[in-house]
Amino acid sequence: MDAPRIYDTLTRSLVPLTPSDGKVFRFYCCGPTVYGPAHIGNFRTFIVQDILRRVIEAHGIPTRHVRNVTDVDDKTIRQSQEQKQSLQAFTRHWLDLFHADCEALNLLPPHEEPSAVEHIPLQIEMIERLVQKGHAYAADDGSVYFRVNSFPSYGKLSRLFEREITTQQCGCGAHDADEYDRESASDFALWKAHKPEDGDNAWPSPWGPGRPGWHIECSAMSLKYLGPTFDLHGGGVDLVFPHHENEIAQSEASADAPFTRMWFHSAHLMVESQKMSKSLGNLYTLDDARARGFSPMEVRYVLASGHYRQPLNFSWDSLRAARSALHKLATFDAHLAQTAGAGDTSATDEWGLFEPAIRALSDNLNTPEALGKLFKAVKEIEGRLHRNEWKQEDARQARNQFHRLLNTLGLRLEQPAAPEGDPGAPHDVKALAEERWQAKQARDWAKADTLRKQLTEMGWVIRDAKDSYEITKA
């Protein structure tokens, strides 16, 4: 199978995901800013990046995944000060919660997870190089700024060649513009001089006490762990400008080498057709979903179900649909296991009837098409099992391939919650309902009708949907 490919934001084209060194695919992803719980919009981006890594590895390509932690910036300092906590204790609490949520959502841990605070000396070294080369300058108060006019290709990622860059756009903010003396409104902060409201959060530098700007953190850490030119940089589409544009400028000006070969950005998450915002009260977290009775896997399924380049509309109804889909997959797995019996089949590089699904994932990470192909394969296999066309080894091979695809999607089939509307039917009722569903899928209408009548006589009603069914007490 050909190498997977994705849409590169820089070239506006589909590009193959092949390692530049012919060995390991090296990629960097902007990680969390740990000042509060990550919301489901954040996790959409992290889940998309997780599936991308799994797809690359499913093609037999080793990866080196670096995801940073922003544990020093305006928000972390301000809120730690308000709560009268040290910056380290404050950010450690939220980082621990983030890691717990990542584990619950079955995100692969990055190979490296550097902290911005732990790499401040490295950032200072990078700023010194930029000053020495004329790409940066110190202001009177001890802040240091990147001179955007010194980098002619600034704007090549976001296509800002003819757009006026305002104070807000540059990532400095109006407050900073009032306090700090910059040569141009487009210049952005590499080092921020200490202010009284920062408390004890300051580090020594050649320009006086202060802290790094947000943008320089990623450049310094990606350089250390991946080298001056790596394969891919990822993040949400909201980071294209100014964050990623600024990363390119300071990194390439410092190293005199291309920053990264390709850029990977995922679109926004909408909630009930509205933009996520604190004012609307819809910055939902994983705990909010749990409080409504939904599992992390149901959340992952929803966040993976849309194409990463298109906005995805999240709703509580979508989680109910995810529950039904996962229930169907778990039931299929149990049915397949009955025929496969105990024991594992030999490992294989083949995907069998699931090959169309992995091809969809490999073609610009088309998760909605992959899920559609997955359920088409499930239906085909169920029919073959019902018609007794497969021997034990066939079923074992198919189950191996099924689990391989689930792993590529990062889906775990734990004990799933029953589909919405199921009050907890007895095991024998569930078994009959599933047998009837399989008969229907195999177009054995007589058997399906007989089993429906039997369920009715037992006091249960079965309602069919397009891809699932519900059992309710009569």
Q: Which domains does the chain have, with CATH numbers?
A: 5-266 (3.40.50.620), 274-409 (no CATH), 427-473 (no CATH)
CA distance 118 to 272: 39
Beta-bridge partner residues of 363: 5
pLDDT given at position 343:
66
pLDDT in the model for residue 285: 96
Q: Give the orientation angle of helix 445-457 with respect to helix 427-441, to 10 degrees.
A: 160
Distance CA 44, CA 42 (A): 5
Q: Please give the radius of gyration of the chain, using alpha carbons only, rounded to the nearest integer.
A: 26
Hey, what are 260's tokens?
Answer: 């990264």
Per residue in 214-239, is it b (16+ CB within 10 Å) or e — as a string?
bbbbbbbbbbebbeebbbbbbbbbeb
pLDDT at position 167 is 43
Sign of CA dihedral 264, 269, 274, 277: negative
Extract the tokens encoding 256: 């005199």
Give CA–CA dist 71/414, Å, rounded: 34
Three-state secondary structure of the chain: CCCCEEEECCCCEEEECCCCCCCCEEEEECCCECCCCCEHHHHHHHHHHHHHHHHHHHCCCCEEEEECEECCCHHHHHHHHHCCCCHHHHHHHHHHHHHHHHHHCCCCCCCECCECHHHHHHHHHHHHHHHHCCCEEECCCCCEEECHHHCCCCCCCCCCCCCCCCCCCCCCCHHHHHHCCCCCCCCEEEEEECCHHHCCCCECCCCCCEEECHHHHHHHHHHHHHCCCEEEEEEEHHHHHHHHHHHHHHHHHHHCCCCEEEEEEECCEEECCEECCCCCCCCCEHHHHHHCCCCHHHHHHHHHCCCCCCCEEECHHHHHHHHHHHHHHHHHHHHHHHHHCCCCCCCCCCCHHHHHHHHHHHECCCHHHHHHHHHHHHHHHHHHHHCCCCCHHHHHHHHHHHHHHHHHHCCCCCCCCCCCCCCCCCHHHHHHHHHHHHHHHCCCHHHHHHHHHHHHHCCEEEEECCCCEEEEEC
pLDDT at res. 277? 81
Contact call for residues 345 and 400 (beta carbons, < 8 A): yes
Q: Do the strands 274-275 and 312-314 form a parallel or antiparallel pair, or are they unpaired? A: unpaired
Report pLDDT for 130: 98
Residue 451 is encoded by which pair of tokens?
């089993």
Place of tokens 């229907």: 440
Residue type, 227: G
In one letter, which amino acid is 472? T
Hunting for tokens 């513009």 — which residue is that? Answer: 177
Residue 187's pLDDT is 96
Q: Give the residues of the chain that fall short of pLDDT 50.
A: 162, 166-180, 416-417, 419-423
Query: Residues 371, 375, 380, 384: is their CA dihedral positive or negative?
Result: positive
Asked if 269 and 276 touch (Cβ cutoff 8 Å), the reply is: yes
Q: Tell me, what amino acid is at 422? A: D
How are beta strands 5-8 and 210-212 bridged, if at all? unpaired
Sign of the Cα pseudo-torsion (228, 229, 230, 233, in order): positive
